Amino acid sequence: MKFDISYTFDAIPRLLEGAFITMQVAILGFTLSVILATTITIARTSLKSKIFNLILAFYISFIRGTPILVQIFLVYYVLPVFGLNLGPFTAGILAITLNSAAFVTEILRGGLASVPIGQFEAAKSLGISGFALWRKIILPQTFITSIPPLVNEFTMVLKATALLSLITVVELMRVSQQIYGANYHPVEVLSGTFVIYFLMCFVVSRSSVVLEKKFKVKRA
């Protein structure tokens, strides 16, 4: 057999459609996980409750200690046992959100530690507290210092979405499996998919520098 590149080119329009879905899943999952992680971070800092911290440590340790594939299977196969029947798409997003939120929480903890304690004190002496304190003062600084690890985490999420093909979410990986299932040319089709994934992740990971520059100007 020879490598016939025309199969790659034939597959490209459908692969790009799949790539679009992959991007949507990744953005949705990542956004939800950032929201969840921000809530957790605020709750942890303002509650200072031992039980909450203990549960959180347990959750983060579990997520970091087990493969995301097993977590996806847990959400997809186990929730129906408890009567919660989610479709593959919802289950996939939920699994990715829960997974990524643990990592983003850790990232935000690092970012929060870099905000000087004087910022809290200064805000308090100006009479700013509660929601405004977080929204206007603490969170912007936390996020700006966390840009590089957050972008890195987004590429992780982007790569993890490929695993959703195993629970029948029709994204880039699944689409390519469908194509070579029909034409029996896995090498050509998978090469195309490989290049598309590489371009997506590479562009995203390089965007970190651009984002950092943009927000640095704003800060000064």
Partner 1 sequence: MLEYQIFFDYAPMILLGFWLTLKIVVCAIALGIPLGLLLALGRRSNFIIISFLSTSFIEVFRNTPFIIQVFLFYYVLPFYGLRLPAEYVGTLALAAFGSAYFAEIIRAGIDAVPKGQLESARAIGMTDWQAMKNVILPQTLSIVIPPLTNQTLSLIKESAILSTITVHELTMTGLMVQGETFRPFEVFIMVALLYWALNETIATIMRKFEKNIKKSRDTGPKNNSSTALKHGENTR
State whether residue 38 is helix, strand or coil. helix
Does the protein bind partner 1 through residue 165 (CB under 8 A)? yes
Report the residue from 205, 208, 211, 215 that binds partner 1 according to the rule CB under 8 A.
205
Does the protein bind partner 1 through residue 62 (CB under 8 A)? yes
CA 19/CA 173 separation, integer angstroms? 9
Does the protein bind partner 1 through residue 142 (CB under 8 A)? no
Three-class HEC string of 172-210: HHHHHHHHHHHHCCHHHHHHHHHHHHHHHHHHHHHHHHH
Residue 87 contacts by C-beta under 8 Å, 6 or more apart in sequence?
none
**Both tokens assigned to 212:** 């950092």
Report the residue from 56, 186, 207, 208 that binds partner 1 according to the rule CB under 8 A.
186
CA 25/CA 28 separation, integer angstroms? 5
Using the minimum distance from each CB to partner 1, give the nearer residue, 66 or 129: 66
Does the protein bind partner 1 through residue 33 (CB under 8 A)? no
Number of residues that bind partner 1 (CB under 8 A): 37
Binding stretches for partner 1 (CB under 8 A) = 1, 3, 61-62, 64-71, 73-74, 77-78, 81, 155, 159-163, 165-166, 173, 186-187, 190-191, 193-194, 197-198, 201-202, 205
